Structure 1
Amino acid sequence: MPPQYRLMLETMDVLTRPKDLDPRMVCWKGAAILACLDTTQEMWITQREWKQFSVRMLRERAPFMW
């Protein structure tokens, strides 16, 4: 690892999954929580916005680059 990146390292906690949580349901539970957060409300795309701007709107609102 280059020296300049070593200063950026943070402590990371690795959590194991609870025994009662089905691994196949984790993404669904995460998506349900994400959809309810106040901070993600501005990422929603209305039907009118989709019809008008299509993929351009998705590229603008998506929380990741693609």
Structure 2
Amino acid sequence: MTIENTTGISDRIDIFLGQFDHTQIVTLSYIVSAAILLLLVLYIFLDGRRQKNRLQKLEQSNAIRANKIKS
């Protein structure tokens, strides 16, 4: 394998971004940042719902145990 044929990921990104002008690159970076932020917020929201459900199940099982001990 020769050096001329081996292009790394950064070289491929440079070639890809070389086709755009400055405003297109800025717009692309904003779009990518917004998408990542949206995914992060969605992940936090869904994880919060999952944790809330787990906490409710744990509280229910603790209440059932407490009722069994009282009886």
TM-score by length of 1: 0.28
Larger RCO, structure (CA 8 Å, separation 6 or more): 1
Choose between structure 1 and 2: higher helix proportion.
Answer: 2
TM-score by length of 2: 0.27
